[in-house]
Structure 1
Amino acid sequence: MKYTELQLEQAFIHLLETEGYHYIDGKELSRVSNQEVLIKEDLRSFLLNRYPDLEEIELESIVNEIAFQSASNLYDSNKYIYL
């Protein structure tokens, strides 16, 4: 069966929702700019929920480490973040 991009996107959204994830359309997100990929406040909230003993300086360090990766080599940046 051949999928269009929209059908594939809808299939993934449905799959993630069945796993308990909540879908929010990107147009509904509040961002500093459309160029901003990382939603820092969401990351901060997640980290504080997961690690309630994090100090503010540790939290900022983690967020900055992810936010300010070099875009010149996306492969190396992603490898560094996810490994």
Structure 2
Amino acid sequence: MGGLSIWHWAIVLVVVLLLFGSGKVSNLMGDFAKGIKSFKKNMAEDDASMEATADRPAGTIAAPGTPGATTTATTQARETTHS
């Protein structure tokens, strides 16, 4: 069992086109391309959101019982629970 020649690939391509039709193969490749673009877009958004959170200063820790002293993490937790 050696490598496949160009004729083997041509026969496989013809069989696939006969089974699925050129329209389905075309739609499948289009959907695949859309998925890749969506994945790249989401990865870029994740990188941007990670950079934005890295630029924020860390909160300060106050002594227990100090009125009005909250940390950035506490503020963020409150915002996410109320959203």
Please give the range of the TM-score, normalised by the shorter of the 2 chains: under 0.3
* Higher RCO structure (Cα 8 Å, ≥6 apart): 1
Could you tell me the TM-score, scaled by structure 1's length? 0.26
Greater radius of gyration (CA): 2
Could you tell me the TM-score, scaled by structure 2's length? 0.26
